[in-house]
A and B are shown apart, each in its own frame.
Chain A
Amino acid sequence: MTPIVLTVAWVAFLLGMAWYVAVLDGLWAAAREGRSLRTPLANPLYRCATMLRQQSNLTEAPDLLNWRLAPALYAGLAGTGVALVPFSGASVLADLEVGIVWWGAVEALTVVVVFLHGWSANSQLGLIGAYRYVAIGLPVMLISMFVLIAAALPAESLAVPKIIESQRELWNVIRQPLGLPLFLLIGLSLSFRGPFNYADSADLADGTASEISGAARLVWEFARLAMLVATAAMAATVFLGGYLGPVLPGPLWLLLKTAAVLVLLVALSHLFARISPSRMLTLIWIVLMPLAFIDLVWAGLVAL
């Protein structure tokens, strides 16, 4: 694929998959409440139109630069995450030698932009959401580091295409069974959904997003969906062999696997209740972190 085709594919993937997640969310809610399953298909588009026509809210003395930049930066980070994912053997937008480390940077900078978004609005609920998110987001990132280093071990490389090629015989999801479940939790935390929604939850009246409306809110909501898409694409690539698969062409395999992971992520975010931040911190440090460490040791022993 030429760079232009690749860029178009990248944009289409981000927008299409974000719409797909919004529809999945809508379908889930409609099925649970026994409503018609027809409306959720168009609802995301109506919602975009509504937000674009809305007035932009302003608070008293916000840090306007950071407040306006945060949604765009968040969406941009999700975009660079998707750019790391190869659509097929020869077509990857960002062919970085250390792609998996860049994904780590995406996670670290996500914590920063979500904090900035809540902080810069100069409102209590946003600030509480921002602080809570940092407390949970930082240890979750450590889990991600262990899991991703483990996934890079069999490939003996930090490049994403090499990690895919190392899965020709056996996918990482079988070789390192703890990796994918832990990585899915990280995805929920990166886009603060369901059991990991500490930033923008209902108990804070939308937390860091409690004061935004209009185009800024549209970008913010899109960015959350896009970050979930980026994590799903990364999970499909690092643990499920990415574009590898019989009969069908590579890009289609990637699409199918990403779509399947997204169904799983949406189900997780609707099925699990959120626990209080302090109990979640205990769960992360006492249970999830050691599991991630076992995953790394396991991967090391298998690689030996």
Chain B
Amino acid sequence: MSVVDDMAFWIFALTAIVSGWRVFCTDSMVRASFLLLASFIAVGLIMLLLGAPYLGIATIFMMGVEMMVMALFMVMYMMNPAGLNPMVMVHQHRFSIGAGIAAFVGLAAVMLVTDFADNPVASDARVVTDLGKELLGDSMLIFETAGVTLLATMVASVILSSRSGRFGPADEGSVPPPLEPGGQPAGRLPEEGGGHGHHHH
């Protein structure tokens, strides 16, 4: 590895960690999603350095789409959309601190205990071809099962949320949930015979 490669590695590694940490400090869903994207892009670039071009760029590409969809759906379905509105992004503090420490210790132990491979692949090895053969050869069943499951999930979520969906026309008779069980729907009720139609006569 040349000095340039080393420097690139440290820059990407630092970017990945710092932006991953900032995800939990920011006060907006959108910022959190795209900070996570920045972290993944840095990891993708490290994979490029490691000589896994397809996996690296596919990570960047998939995460780009994924974080975009995530940001959009979170803002769409949240009570407080917190786009540019600040909101607290962390909850269940004690449990998450415990889980965080456990995960850190576990992963650090794996890193220290594992005997990592130390045989560089020849620079003219056809890594992308080999990966394709693996994905559509021995691992085809796993790969395709995961793919079809994800596709079924996507189709199902579109059917459930579409206007003419499972629960009838989506824009008819939808009322916000009550604030206490069995109470009136939250928010302002539409006025009797409302709308602006009468003003035009």
Contact = CB atoms under 8 A, between A and B. Distances in A.
Contact of B53 (A97, A112, A134, A141): A97
Interface stretch (B12-20, B54-62, B191-199): B54-62
Nearest to B41: A109
B127 to A, nearest CB: 8
B83 A119 contact: yes
A192 B11 CA distance: 34
Interface string A123-156: 0000100010010001001000000000000000
Interface residues of B, number: 21
A127 B76 CA distance: 13
A24 interface: no
Interface in B14-53: 30-31, 34, 37, 53
A282 to B, nearest CB: 12
B111 interface: no
Contacts of A111: 64-65, 68
Nearest to A111: B68
B84 interface: yes
B64 A101 contact: no
A115 interface: yes
Interface in B60-77: 60-62, 64-65, 67-69, 71-72
Contacts of B83: 119, 127
Q: Is the interface of A mostly helix, strand, loop or mixed?
A: helix
B8 interface: no
A104 interface: yes
B57 A63 contact: no
Contacts of A120: 84
A105 B31 contact: no
A98 B51 CA distance: 12
A102 interface: yes
Nearest to A120: B84
A63 B84 contact: yes
Interface residues of A, number: 26
A108 interface: yes
Given A102-B57, A127-B83, A63 B31 contact: yes
A108 B69 CA distance: 11
A219 interface: no
A201 interface: no
A101 B34 contact: no
B65 A138 contact: yes
B64 A134 contact: no
Given A61-B84, A119-B83, A122-B84, A98 B57 contact: yes
B141 interface: no
Closest 7 CB pairs of A and B: A108-B64, A105-B61, A101-B57, A105-B60, A109-B64, A98-B53, A108-B65
23 contacts: A62-B84, A66-B34, A96-B57, A97-B53, A98-B54, A98-B128, A101-B57, A101-B61, A102-B57, A105-B61, A105-B64, A108-B61, A108-B62, A108-B68, A112-B37, A112-B67, A112-B68, A115-B68, A115-B71, A119-B83, A119-B84, A134-B68, A158-B128
Interface of A: 61-63, 66, 96-98, 101-102, 104-105, 108-109, 111-112, 115-116, 119-120, 122, 127, 131, 134, 138, 141, 158
Given A109-B64, A111-B68, A112-B37, 4 more contacts: A66-B34, A111-B64, A116-B34, A131-B72
